[in-house]
Amino acid sequence: MFTGIIESIGEIVAIEREASNIHIMLRCSFTHELQIDQSLAHDGVCLTVVAIDGDCYTVTAINETLQKSTLGDWGVGALVNLERAMTLGARLDGHLVQGHVDQVGSCVSASEEEGSWRYQFTYDTTQGNITVEKGSVTVNGVSLTVVDSGDGTFSVAIIPYTHTHTNFNQLFAGKSVNLEFDVIGKYVARLTQAYR
């Protein structure tokens, strides 16, 4: 489990394909604290550390992950939001995040609004996911509050710190993002569908 509070930005330094899988090597500020088999969220996707070499570590993404996230579009030099798994007893500053991307969405717009930033996203509603105004959503691993919610669209507002310390400063209209919808909202949506 994760909280959606980004710890660091990782830089992809190498990508190697092996059959339908890809091995991704990243460099980050806390590589020296990592261990083999440790789980990290990469733009909201939970991946396992399989190798550590100096200030770099490697994770492997299988075909299923590549098809349901933006990982297949990653390239060398890309910056990735990183978060280590939460520990029991720690403060939950964001919201409960599983690290399981529900679907890929698209950024519609990104605009600066007198000190803050506002982003609008769209997603496919046929997969049964929903957003709720003032509810939680995870975009590229970042826990955010929904400002406006519509049919297949929602917007969020972020503070300058988040804009600077995540890869949100690289988002633009048309860019794909990983979306994980609020786990409680997903259960409620599926329960109500059963009664319809």
What local confidence, expressed as pLDDT, does residue 24 receive?
98
Q: How far is CA 75 from CA 49, 69, 192, in A?
A: 19, 14, 40
Q: Domain check: are 116 and 35 in the same one? A: no
- How distant, in Å, are the alpha carbons of 4, 27, 77, 164 from that of 103? 16, 26, 24, 25
Are 109 and 65 in a shared domain? no
In a domain? residue 93: no
Number of domains in the chain: 2
On whether residue 94 sits in a domain, the answer given is: no
Q: What is the pLDDT of residue 19?
A: 92
| Of 105 and 191, more confident | 105
Q: Quick check: 85 and 40 in contact, CB under 8 A?
A: yes
Whether residue 179 sits in one domain with residue 108: yes
Give the pLDDT confidence of 34-68 residue by residue, as tens digits.
999 999 999 999 999 999 999 999 999 999 999 99
Considering the domain architecture, whether residues 62 and 134 belong to the same structural domain is answered as no
Cα 27 to Cα 57: distance, rounded to the nearest angstrom: 7
**pLDDT tens per residue, range 110-129:** 999 888 999 999 999 998 88
Q: Which two tokens stand for residue 131?
A: 């957003």
Determine the pLDDT at residue 174: 95
The reply to whether 90 falls in a domain is no
CA-closest candidate to residue 41, choices 156, 139, 187: 139
Residues 128 and 168 in one domain: yes
pLDDT at 86: 84
pTM beyond 0.85: the answer is yes
- Domain end, chosen from 84, 113, 144, is at 84
Q: Residue 35: how many CB atoms within 10 A of its CB?
A: 8
Find the CATH number of the domain harbouring 57. Answer: 2.40.30.20
Place of tokens 């949100």: 168
170 and 108 co-located in one domain: yes
131 domain residue, yes or no: yes
The two tokens of residue 27 are: 């460099």
pLDDT at 196: 62
Whether 43 and 13 share a structural domain: yes
Residues of the domain holding 185: 103-195
Same-domain check for residues 80 and 140 = no
Nearest Cα to 164, choosing from 72, 89, 81, 87?
81
Residue 20 lies in a domain: yes
State pLDDT tens for residues 141-193.
999 999 999 999 999 999 999 999 999 999 999 999 999 998 776 666 666 66
Mean pLDDT, rounded, for 73-82: 96
135 inside domain: yes
Beta strand ranges found along 6-115 (DSSP E): 8-18, 21-27, 39-42, 45-53, 56-61, 79-84, 103-113
Whether 119 maps to a domain, the answer reads yes
Q: Residue 176 falls within a domain, yes or no? A: yes
Residues 108 and 80 in one domain: no
- Give the mean model confidence (pLDDT) for residues 73-86: 95
